Amino acid sequence: MADALIIGGGAIGLASAWTLAKHGLAVTVLERDVGSVHAASRAAAGMLSAQLESHPSEAMAALCLRGRERHATFLPELAEATGADLEYRTVGALRVAFSDEDAANLIDLVEAQRARGWEARIVSSAEARDLEPSLSACHSGAFFPGEAVVEPNRVVDALVRACIERGVTLRTGVLAAQVLHAGGRATGVLLHNGDRLAAGHVIVAGGAWSASLEGTGIEGKLRPIRGQMLELRHARTPSRLVEGPGAYLSPRTDGRMLVGSTLEDVGFERAVTVGAATQLLNAAVRLLPHLAEATLAAHWCGFRPATRDGLPLLGATSTGALAATGHHRNGIVLSAITADIVTALVTGKSSPVELTPFAPGRVLPLG
Ligand SMILES: Cc1cc2nc3c(=O)[nH]c(=O)nc-3n(C[C@H](O)[C@H](O)[C@H](O)COP(=O)(O)OP(=O)(O)OC[C@H]3O[C@@H](n4cnc5c(N)ncnc54)[C@H](O)[C@@H]3O)c2cc1C
């Protein structure tokens, strides 16, 4: 019998599995399809960002910053354990304003962050172009030097390898149906094929699909938000994260850059659309005009797990069962800190983060 049975082999489930296994627990991960491009973790831009946008609450802002900082040790450790180049780089992020209104919003964002003691500054148009020489003429910008980037597909692949090396049982091609309970506590998982798997703890980390499981205590609390992403190739990629109205650019080290993303409430509709591509490309070229000559290499979509208050569901749902999902736009930056939270709760320690704002049982606004 596993000490911990994790439903979902995305960034959240795998980071949790690896961390639990490092603490000596016997862990099994149940994953329908570890290579799915529609799982959010494989679709993501890989921004380890806490500062580019405002958050729904102070608790969420602090969690994202903590998540970003946690990667400074988690990702190098993962790279060392697997020999993988995760393309983890603290490149900083430049958010660009083209109008007085954008600029006023950036001043508010930077002031709120500086009041928390975070590093952020407003830059003039000329300073913005010093930071990113390919940038078009703009009104002004905001610079966040601590923001980082990673290649999420490499992170997921490395986590799979690290988990296997640590003795985690990764069961792919299996679909969990229900968290089983007996005597008031979770006892395991029922699979769609009728098999029952017993476990000391069950962790629900199924991303946007978590809501379709029974017995989780979070039924109806998540919905998928589709995000479309483009991959461009050009000899000149930005040297940092760049965001402007309608798009962000997340650079890679090999001439690729990811342009994202849409936020679409369309259920699990797996289509990519001409409208989204047009909107993202126009916004990207407005930021960096030379991208008009870039090659359009790929276009995909993934499904973010979203709650109605924009905060994740983190914590116990019953004795022996935990939710670790609902990370919406922030699941890559929050993967390592979520793994720490899951591990603390499973091993009977106190969470490194105050979890009341993220309690799975909280009442969510009506959708
Ligand atoms: C376009 C896009 C861009 C993004 N960019 C960023 C970014 O730059 N930075 C950032 O921090 N976040 C980003 N995000 C958000 C981030 O990707 C997600 O929050 C995060 O990946 C969620 O991870 P997860 O493990 O919870 O879910 P997923 O990655 O979706 O994994 C869930 C897994 O569970 C499996 N599963 C589900 N149900 C079952 C079941 N019943 N039985 C077995 N297996 C099951 C699925 O097959 C899936 O593999 C982005 C998301 C999208 C879509």
pLDDT tens per residue across span 5-42: 999 999 999 999 999 999 999 999 999 986 676 799 99
Residue 205 Cα: closest atom of ligand 1: 26
Structure-token match 């964002």, residue found: 109
pLDDT of residue 37: 66
269 Cα distance to chain centroid: 20
Q: Which two tokens stand for residue 56?
A: 């729904």
pLDDT string in tens for the chain (367-residue length)? 999 999 999 999 999 999 999 999 999 999 998 667 679 999 999 999 999 988 999 999 999 999 999 999 999 999 999 999 999 999 999 999 999 999 999 999 999 999 999 999 999 999 999 999 999 999 999 999 999 999 999 999 999 999 999 999 999 999 999 999 999 999 999 999 999 999 999 999 999 999 889 999 999 999 999 999 999 999 999 999 999 999 999 999 999 999 999 999 999 999 999 999 999 999 999 999 999 999 999 999 999 999 999 999 999 999 999 999 999 999 999 999 999 999 999 999 999 999 999 999 999 987 6
Identical fold for domains 2-82+152-222+308-358 and 93-147+223-306, yes or no, is: no
Nearest to 181 by CA among 164, 163, 201: 201
Q: What percent of the chain has pLDDT over 70?
A: 99
pLDDT of residue 367: 66
CA of 42 to the centre of ligand 1 (A): 7
pLDDT of residue 124: 97
- Ligand 1 proximal residues by C-beta, below 6 Å: 7-13, 30-33, 36, 39-41, 43-47, 175-176, 205-209, 213, 227, 229, 260-261, 302, 304-305, 325, 327-333
CB neighbours of residue 134 within 10 Å: 16
pLDDT of residue 38: 76
Considering only CA atoms, which residue is closest to atom 50 of ligand 1?
A: 44
CA of 270 to the centre of ligand 1 (A): 14
48 SS3 class: strand
CATH code matching the domain that covers 2-82+152-222+308-358, chosen among 3.40.50.300, 3.40.1190.20, 3.30.1490.190, 3.50.50.60: 3.50.50.60
Parallel/antiparallel/unpaired status of strands 121-124 and 223-233: unpaired
pLDDT of residue 53: 86
Domains of the chain: which residue ranges?
2-82+152-222+308-358, 93-147+223-306
Considering only CA atoms, which residue is closest to atom 41 of ligand 1?
A: 176
93-147+223-306 is classed CATH 3.30.465.10: no
Q: Which two tokens stand for residue 8?
A: 């979902």
CA of 328 to the centre of ligand 1 (A): 8
